[in-house]
Amino acid sequence: MNLSSVTSALGSVKKATNRITQRESPLEKNLREAMSNQNWGCANSIQHDIARASHDYQDCLLIMEEIWTALQEKSKWRRVLKALTLLEFLIKNGSERIVDDVRRDQYKVRPLMDYSCSEDGKDRGAAVREKAKAITELISDMELLRSERDKAREHRDKFSGISSSDPSDRYGGYGNSSSYGGGGSYGGRYDSG
């Protein structure tokens, strides 16, 4: 047992203790699960819950802070990939404030188009590079963005039967008064390939 593994274990214990003592909110729990470094995807229902929370100003600030923090942890490729996956989902399904924030801070996403990480002799950075490129293209092309947000809204409406149109949402997507039941399917594993 080396010093780094002991330090890592102590860090994990400290984080778990902080979560218990500070009474982690449901949004914080969902964000932690959505962007964990674990070897599995995130439930769609969790992503939808986070997207709904993005309509609250304070929650949106927390969401974006957590995403930007996760994108800085370059040694944890799964966490970076999951943060990008959540970010893409929020661009398509969340508050338009998310779109504005990503446009403003796209300099935090662009470097990931050159991301490099190897694990067990395999290139684990390819998925991160592709996702960063897709996000950059999505926020740069207004017509594509509107189309993707419209598709996401239609998909939600098909499963909920409730319209979520909001004329004040200039990009399409969730309206502030939307409500529906999210799906519960899980994403795939992040180590195949």
pLDDT digits (tens, 9 = 90+) for 144-182: 999 999 999 998 888 776 544 454 455 555 444 333 333
Task: Tell whether the model's pLDDT for residue 139 goes beyond 50.
Answer: yes
pLDDT of 124 reads: 86
Q: What is the pTM of this model?
A: 0.73
HSE on the CB side for 35, CA within 13 Å? 26
d(Cα 1, Cα 131) in Å, to the nearest integer? 36
pLDDT digits (tens, 9 = 90+) for 94-121: 999 999 999 999 999 999 999 998 888 8
Could you tell me which of 104, 103, 112, 48 has the C-alpha nearest to residue 79? 112
Average pLDDT over all residues of the chain: 82
pLDDT of 35 reads: 93
pLDDT digits (tens, 9 = 90+) for 36-47: 888 888 889 999
